[in-house]
Amino acid sequence: MPSPLDILHSTFGYSEFRGRQAEVIDRVMAGANTLAVMPTGAGKSLCYQVPALALPGTCVVVSPLIALMHDQLRAAEAVGIRAATLTSVDTNQMETIERFKSGALDLLYVAPERASGGGFRDLLDRAPLALFAIDEAHCVSEWGHDFRPDYRLLRPLLDRFGHVPRLALTATADAHTRDDILAQLGIPDDGLILAGFDRPNIRYAMSPRQGTTKQVSDLVAATPGPGIVYVQSRAGTEKMAEALGAATGRPVRAYHAGLDPAVRARNQSAFVASEDMVMCATIAFGMGIDKPDVRFVAHAGLPKSIEAYYQETGRAGRDGDPSVAHLFWGADDFAKARQRLSEVQEDRLPGERARLAALGGLVETGGCRRAVLLRHFGESPPENCGNCDNCLSPPARTDLTQLAQKLLSAVYRTGQMFGVGHIEAVLTGQANEKVTKAGHDRLSVFGIAEGEEAALIKPVARALLLRDALGQTEHGGLELGPSARAILKGEASFEIAVPPKTVRQKRREQGAANPVGDPLFEALRTCRRDLAAEAGVPPYVIFHDSTLREIAAARPATLGELGRLSGVGARKLDAYGDAFLAVVRQY
């Protein structure tokens, strides 16, 4: 029987395991039940694919989305793994079942709804089993942000085949969710392997919204390669797609649950196959995206929680190359989120409040974003990561207690019913028609904010909303919140991080690794594109950009030399080696 390391080299073309992959695989090979929490891009799928090839029998993979299964199936088949899916849209179900029963499959992908049914348990009685892999395992937890009830019905299946090792995998689980997964899937506490949550290749940045479409357009223009823009409403995705297409000239599509299913599937396929498309989407465009070369993820509004933010930004840079995650937020996002808390069940309220507060802390911090993010997941990171907006351009922390008091006083004296624009006009002494008609030009707070203070009114109002010193009325006016009193009475100071006045957006400042203007690299990409079109798969299934960069740098002359490069396994060398060597010979 070949060793896991032999399989890694011959099938996948890699010389060594990364991170804690070897530890996870050793446990699986020893028949131990395991929960592996590994960041996106750390190679979770290898942790069940390698044992599936090393052990007799089939590995049954429980996966939450058909689109995700089909992506994983394509990638598995491309390296020569015998794999199949058993889903409602597959027309060859009988053939797949026969292959499964005869032991002719290494991997079988199924949805939790099918896996938890009695008929499937009976089928498993008649097939040789190597392993159960439960992918996206956070779906098992009611505390997780993608809860799927059918995941909680898997335990009887796993226990019926107690001799078959079980491996649960997720990228996103705080301590509470991890405990729940272990309990629900019958994995011992010592079966937890926590590989950490850091994604060092992603640059995190956050900006207050000031004309979101323009801000997102600037990001798109500065960042070549595929990207995702998360928008909060269905109508907003289509509007944003239209605006970005017009502003940047890039191919842009929309994706949301209200689209015709055929259009949605077409848009997703086009995005997965593209090397420069931007997808404007609601969070319906989620776990099914197994695309390694996404170069940026932008949020045009607030995600639901830090867990959701981590999962959504984690779709960037899964190939390990430099990528950007930029969140554009508004104080009204937090005000609306607080209003929604009134609809939450009493027993879930403390948890939801804590989630919102944690998100507020991430957005408002003047320190390292990555440190806040990683501490949320129970890690102890260094204070400076060197790859987020605050570490690269540290904002000055400024004591603005006096301006906060002036702003809160103006909100109170104008009757707690006007928006920030009106409050700003009063404080800066603008006697416009609305101000004079309300008699607010005669208030003691009229014209008391001057010079630099005037420019800070909106950031201070945002921060006051964030800290619950201000709230929003249902008509969008400002009103005093629970923590206003302490600031007004001088019992609490008020500091904010003031961002640098200008942030130079050097084109591809995040340091894209792909060479620019290298004719050989571009020719290799063209070759990859042609082969992908011929095979009906996305270009990254042929080779990742990192492999093309190695080929361009090493200029291999023989199949043997090409086979020694990272990411070139035996199956791919056989299928594509001659085509790529022919391109190298031209240069």
For 157-210, the pLDDT digits (tens) are: 999 999 999 999 998 888 888 999 999 999 999 999 999 899 999 999 999 898
500, pLDDT greater than 80: no
- Residue 380 φ/ψ, nearest 5 degrees: -120, 80
**Domain boundary, last residue among 365, 393, 421:** 393
Residue-level pLDDT at 354: 80
Do 182 and 206 have their domain in common? no
Residue 504's pLDDT band, with cuts at 50, 70 and 90, is very low
Residues present in the chain in total: 587
Residue-level pLDDT at 498: 72
Average model confidence (pLDDT) across the chain: 91
Do 389 and 401 have their domain in common? no
Among 25-29, 64-68, 313-317, 491-495, the range with the most confident prediction by mean pLDDT is 25-29
143, pLDDT greater than 70: no
How far is it, in rounded angstroms, from Cα 113 to Cα 153? 9
Residue 507's pLDDT band, with cuts at 50, 70 and 90, is very low
Residue-level pLDDT at 100: 96
Do 128 and 153 have their domain in common? yes
For 289-314, the pLDDT digits (tens) are: 778 999 999 999 999 889 889 989 99
Containing 333, the helix (H) or strand (E) segment is helix 331-340
Residue-level pLDDT at 512: 57
- Closest listed residue to residue 120, CA positions, set 108, 106, 137, 103: 108
Residue 514's pLDDT band, with cuts at 50, 70 and 90, is confident
13, pLDDT greater than 80: yes
Residue 288's pLDDT band, with cuts at 50, 70 and 90, is low
**Domain boundary, last residue among 171, 194, 217:** 194
Output the furthest CA–CA distance in the chain (Å, rounded).
88
How far is it, in rounded angstroms, from Cα 563 to Cα 138? 37
* Cα 465 → chain centroid: 26
Do 183 and 227 have their domain in common? no
- What average pLDDT does range 409-431 have in this prediction? 95
38, 110, 286, 403, 450 from 136: Cα distances, Å: 11, 13, 12, 47, 53
**Domain boundary, last residue among 348, 373, 393:** 393
- Closest listed residue to residue 103, CA positions, set 66, 44, 60: 60
21, 356, 409, 461 from 480: Cα distances, Å: 52, 19, 9, 11
Do 175 and 301 have their domain in common? no
In a domain, 365, yes or no: yes
Q: State the Cα torsion 47-50-52-55 to the nearest 10°.
A: -120
pTM: 0.78
- What average pLDDT does range 385-410 have in this prediction? 93
What tokens does 174 get?
A: 């705080």
Range of the domain at 38: 4-194
Q: What angle do CA 256, 212, 219 make, to 5 degrees?
A: 90
CB under 8 Å to 539, separation ≥6 — which residues? 273, 275, 525, 528, 529, 532
For 463-498, the pLDDT digits (tens) are: 898 788 998 887 778 999 999 999 999 999 998 887
In a domain, 512, yes or no: no
Residue-level pLDDT at 145: 59
Residue-level pLDDT at 144: 58
- What average pLDDT does range 554-567 have in this prediction? 94
Domain containing residue 262: CATH number: 3.40.50.300
- What average pLDDT does range 270-284 have in this prediction? 92
